[in-house]
Amino acid sequence: MKNKLKEKLKYFDYGLFIPYLILCLIGIVMVYSASAINLTYVGVKATSYLFKQIIFVGIGITLTLIFSHMNPKFWVSKNVLKFGYWTVIILLMMAKFLFSAINGANGWITLGSFSIQPAEIAKLYLIVAISKAFSKREADIYLGKHKRTTTRRNLAVNI
């Protein structure tokens, strides 16, 4: 068990992970400093958003560590990309037509006291899908043999 963990940590990208942690800490401080005064005026504890942000950062770091140990080929498999596409479409449609606007924006799905923007999930999906599309044409792009870097279908997804 220890040898397996040592082997995985040997290839762990600390140069990417440490700035990620620093940005998370800066984000926690910024959320607290931006929300504390307004929450105090309303009569809510000034630290309520701080604790929520700490929880979300903890969840994010945990998911990052889990996903960093997964096989990257899983995310670009045909079935996962199809599932991701339809999941994003359904979530975006739900946000637009089934849920009320929050602060004037129709892009939120509210589940109790928790709200999520499907557009953020769509951004992650687009990064993976576009990367997959470009990787298929990598040799042509590298050799300069391409006329267009995307097909009509990929262009439609990007829009």
25-65 tens-digit pLDDT = 999 999 999 988 888 888 888 888 899 999 999 999 999 88
Encoded amino acid at 122, one letter: A
- Average pLDDT for 98-116: 83
Would you say how long the chain is, in residues? 159
For position 79, what pLDDT does the model report? 94
9, with CB counted inside 10 A (0-12, 13-18, 19+), is: exposed
Write out the residue range of the structural domain in which residue 82 sits.
72-159
Contacts for 85 with CB less than 8 Å, ≥ 6 apart: 125, 129, 157
Of the candidates 111, 113, 12, the residue with the CA atom closest to the CA atom of residue 64: 12
Structure tokens at 81: 């990309």
Do 99 and 151 belong together in one domain? yes
Of the candidates 138, 20, 123, the residue with the CA atom closest to the CA atom of residue 68: 20
Rounded Cα distance between 43 and 117, Å, is: 27
Total structural domains within the chain: 2
Query: Which of 70, 103, 127 is the last residue before a domain boundary?
Result: 70
Rounded Cα distance between 118 and 108, Å, is: 7
- Average pLDDT for 6-23: 86
Do 63 and 125 belong together in one domain? no
Considering the chain, what is the average pLDDT of its residues? Answer: 84
Query: Which of 70, 88, 120 is the last residue before a domain boundary?
Result: 70
Percent with pLDDT over 90 in the chain: 38
Say whether 102 sits in a helix, a strand or coil: strand
Structure tokens at 118: 């499907």
Do 112 and 145 belong together in one domain? yes
